[in-house]
Structure formats: structure tokens, C-alpha cells
Amino acid sequence: MASSDGLALHVSLPAIRLGGRAILGAARLDVAAGRLTALLGPSGVGKSTLLRLLAGLLPLPPGARVTTGDGRPLQGRVAWMGQQDLLLPWLDLIGNVALGARLRGERPDLDRARALIAAVGLAGREGARPAQLSGGMRQRAALARTLMEDRPIVLMDEPFSAVDAPTRHRLQGLAAGLLRGRTVLLVTHDPLEALRLAHRILVLRPAPDGAVAEEQPMPPGEPLRPAHEPAVLAAQAALLERLAEAV
């Protein structure tokens, strides 16, 4: 369903402090176009802060620089998917998927919305209210709404953590296919999720001047990696140990 090609992203940040507390150390992050980069690390280390800065939900601090591969501004070319589905209870499914266009005063492409609803496995549910959908269905709807924005960069903050493990496994496979070709930054606490979905994994660990990012070795193969592969399971064990050291 993707029609937007991925976009390289280059981020240079000074050390960031919030409320007098060091959140992120001075860092440089280069994200390749059309690839998924996973960010892991202990709670409070700054993963979500980084995503919010890139999404424009927090102001960039003085000295920060964010550039794209084509040199054009990042604003307006980012889609966001968070842990909560944030579906509006008074709208039906198709209304929620097409919400972004309505908020911008645009006429929504309802044919595209229906196609995306079908792509996430919810065909026939277009008229359902959120209360009529299971947690997994609601996250599928949130994924469809994110894709409806058709942005080259997608920021995902623990998007599947609120559902049970089997549903999370299925959603990972769905997302891997539908997000292919886009540039994705995924914050997750699930090492296996990162290893299945990501082309690259960065572990953020606390440091005196804010968190620093360290690259994690990846198992062979391209996403979506099977969870049962020995190389993936070995990488999961190594990543868990590294995360335990980062606390």
C-alpha cells in the first residue's frame, strides 16, 4: 500500500536536559532511507523524547539540526503511531482511519481508506465503532490510520505493547509488509520485536551527560525474520543481556 518512498534522515542533537535532568547526550543519528531502525533501552533513557522531537511534539533545542536526504524540511512528512490507538469513540472505523484529512480540512480519500482497512484485515468493519473492536483490531485500525497519512517517515512508539503476545506477533508481520519502503524509527522494549522487524538496532544506555546510543549486532537475513530461527534466538539472548547491563 505504500506510495511514499522512504527518506534518509540525519539528526544532530546537543545534550538535552528536561527539568534539570540529563535526558539525551549529544548524539548523531543517520537513518537510511527505506529502512527500519529500532531504539531500545531502559525506561526514562530518552527514546520517546527523541521521537517526540522528530515529530515536532517537542521543540528542538538550540543547536539541534535535523535534515532529510532530499534537503527539504521534515515538517509535514512524518506519521506517528503510539502505544495507545487513540481512536475517537464517536467515529466509525473508516472515519477514524480518514481522520487526518478531515482535521486538515481536506476531503478524505475513502477508497484508499477502505483499501487500507482491507489490508489490515478489517474489511467489513468499516462502520464499527472502536468499542466494538478488540484491542488487536484497534491497533490494526491505528496502523491503517498511520498509513493513510502516506508519509515517507513513520515514528512508532511501542505500537504493539498493549496487546497480547500472539496478537503482537501477527501485528509485527502485518506492519513489516505494509511499512516496507518507508523510513521507520521504532521504539520498543521487546528485543524479539526489534530483531524481527529492524534492519538496525540502537541501544540507548544512561550516561552522566544523558543517554548514548550503541549499535547492536544483527542476525543474518532481512526483516521479517522468523522468531524461531536459531540466529534470532541467540541475538535475542545477547540483546537481553545488553539491555540488563544498560539499566
3-state helix, strand, coil in the chain (%, to 5): 35, 20, 45
Residues 42 and 67 in one domain: yes
Number of domains in the chain: 2
| CATH number where 165 lies | 3.40.50.300
Question: Is residue 82 in some structural domain?
Answer: no
Residues 237 and 164 in one domain: yes
Residue from 203, 193, 116, 121 nearest 161 by CA = 193
Residues 141 and 23 in one domain: no
CA atoms within 13 A on the CB side of 75: 6
- Residue at which a domain ends, from 101, 130, 150: 150
- Residue at which a domain ends, from 116, 150, 184: 150
Encode the chain (247 residues) as per-residue pLDDT tens digits.
445 678 999 998 887 777 777 777 777 888 999 999 999 988 878 888 889 999 988 888 888 899 999 999 998 899 999 989 999 999 999 999 999 999 999 999 999 999 999 999 999 999 999 999 999 999 999 999 999 999 999 999 999 988 889 988 999 999 999 999 999 999 999 999 999 999 999 998 876 665 677 899 999 999 999 999 999 999 999 999 988 887 6
**For the CA atoms of the chain, what is the radius of gyration?**
18
Residues 73 and 91 in one domain: no
Question: Is residue 126 in some structural domain?
Answer: yes
Phi/psi at 93 (nearest 5 deg)? -60, -50
Question: Is residue 51 in some structural domain?
Answer: yes
Residues 61 and 157 in one domain: yes
Residues 157 and 125 in one domain: no
Domain boundaries, position 71? 1-77+153-247
Residues 167 and 122 in one domain: no
Per-residue model confidence (pLDDT) at position 100: 94
Residues 158 and 243 in one domain: yes
Residues 238 and 173 in one domain: yes
Residue 157 grid coordinates = 512508539
- Residue at which a domain ends, from 150, 165, 184: 150
Residues 223 and 124 in one domain: no
Question: Is residue 92 in some structural domain?
Answer: yes
Alpha-carbon torsion, ordered 118, 122, 123, 127, to 10 deg: -130
